[in-house]
């Protein structure tokens, strides 16, 4: 009887979840060759084929699907056990994985992370700066600080403050391109992967596509492009107002106001580290 190599199974599950070798490699922080080698070892060990290569990526074979689904249940059980054990940790020391966006890290969080460090010097914050939504159920992070209109109901969430938006451009760009108003100006938009977000929907409904001259996957990148005079930019006001190179122009954006939330899994909120972090940032950011 062949025994399952659980370490290799981790690579198989990631490909099954992500649908491609490249995406799994990025998530696991290894190269594509390592992922392929691990999958091949797993298949050779069990003497069966796990994936079929289709037009949309790697798809589980029918004979492998039941086994992988069972493995996912085992993995979910392990994540639950890890969260519950971590949730009973009473010491204000050790690692704490926190995720936020590049915009908030650049313009908002730095001083508050410094004051948290002064208050709790034995807690080591592992800061994961990404515009992707990490899975707190799988402990991709312990705490998230991110804007959202509808926080995941399975998480413990607290609204910290409102996030308002505005339209910005450099003074030079406005002087040379918008003497008669901004209707005909160029705009810096969002990449297609963000088209389903509220901001992406706003662009689709409000701005003619022919006016979009550049697209970015980050508000920080959009601000840099606007400061360089490339075009108009829709930005969170905390990011746009902080730029000395940009002017805010009159344009209706009130419908885009959303909340900034701090989120954690219910199993972890009793952890001393998580509780201390939530309390600190609730006090620091819980006012306009």
pLDDT per residue as tens digits for the range 44-76: 777 777 777 766 667 777 666 777 777 677 666
Each residue of 114-143: pLDDT tens digit? Answer: 999 999 999 999 999 988 888 888 778 999
Query: Per DSSP, what are the bridge partners of residue 190?
Result: 216
pLDDT at 68: 72
Higher-confidence residue: 9 or 288? 9
Each residue of 244-264: pLDDT tens digit? Answer: 999 999 888 889 999 999 999
At 1, the pLDDT band (50, 70, 90 cuts) reads very low
* CATH code for the structural domain at 165-256: 3.40.190.10
pLDDT at 159: 92
Is 12:60 a contact under the CB 8 Å cutoff?
A: no
Q: Which two tokens stand for residue 162?
A: 């409102």
CATH number belonging to the domain at 6-87, selected among 3.90.120.10, 1.10.10.10, 3.40.50.1970, 3.30.420.40: 1.10.10.10
Ranking 29-33, 119-123, 162-166 by mean pLDDT, the lowest is 29-33
Residue 157 has pLDDT above 70, yes or no: yes
Superfamily of domain 94-161+260-285: Periplasmic binding protein-like II (3.40.190.10)
Longest dimension (CA), the chain: 78
Percent of all residues in the chain with a pLDDT value above 70, rounded to a whole number: 87
Ranking 8-12, 147-151, 216-220, 255-259 by mean pLDDT, the lowest is 8-12
Delimiting residues of CATH 1.10.10.10 domain(s) in the chain: 6-87
**Which of 84-93, 135-144, 154-163 is predicted most confidently?**
154-163
Kindly state the average pLDDT of the residues 68-86. 67
Residue 84 has pLDDT above 70, yes or no: no
Kindly state the average pLDDT of the residues 279-288. 82
Rg, the chain, Cα only: 23
Delimiting residues of CATH 3.40.190.10 domain(s) in the chain: 94-161+260-285, 165-256
Residue 90 has pLDDT above 70, yes or no: no
């Amino acid at each position: 009887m062949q025994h399952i190599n659980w370490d290799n199974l981790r690579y198989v599950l990631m490909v099954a979840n992500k649908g491609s070798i490249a995406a799994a490699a990025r998530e696991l922080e290894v190269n594509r060759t390592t992922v392929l080698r691990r999958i091949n070892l797993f298949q050779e060990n069990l003497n069966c084929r796990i994936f079929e290569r289709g037009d949309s990526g790697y798809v589980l074979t029918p004979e492998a699907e039941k086994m992988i689904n069972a493995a996912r249940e085992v993995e979910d059980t392990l994540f639950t056990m890890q969260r519950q054990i971590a949730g009973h940790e009473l010491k204000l020391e050790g690692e704490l994985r926190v995720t936020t966006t590049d915009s908030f890290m650049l313009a908002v969080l730095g001083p508050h992370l410094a004051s948290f460090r002064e208050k709790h010097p034995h807690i080591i914050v592992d800061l994961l700066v990404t515009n992707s939504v990490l899975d707190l159920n799988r402990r991709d992070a312990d705490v998230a600080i991110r804007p959202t209109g509808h926080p995941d109901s399975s998480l413990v969430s607290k609204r910290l403050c409102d996030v308002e938006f505005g339209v910005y451009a450099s003074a030079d760009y406005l002087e040379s391109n918008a003497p008669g108003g901004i209707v005909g100006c160029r705009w810096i938009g969002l990449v297609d992967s963000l088209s389903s977000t509220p901001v992406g929907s706003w662009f689709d409904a409000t701005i003619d596509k022919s006016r979009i001259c550049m697209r970015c996957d980050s508000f920080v990148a959009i601000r840099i492009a606007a400061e360089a005079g490339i075009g108009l930019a829709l930005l969170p006001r905390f990011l746009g107002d902080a730029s000395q190179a940009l002017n805010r122009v009159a344009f209706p954006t009130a419908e885009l106001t959303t909340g900034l939330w701090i989120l954690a899994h219910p199993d972890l909120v009793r952890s001393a580290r998580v509780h201390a972090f939530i309390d600190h940032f609730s006090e620091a950011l819980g006012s306009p």
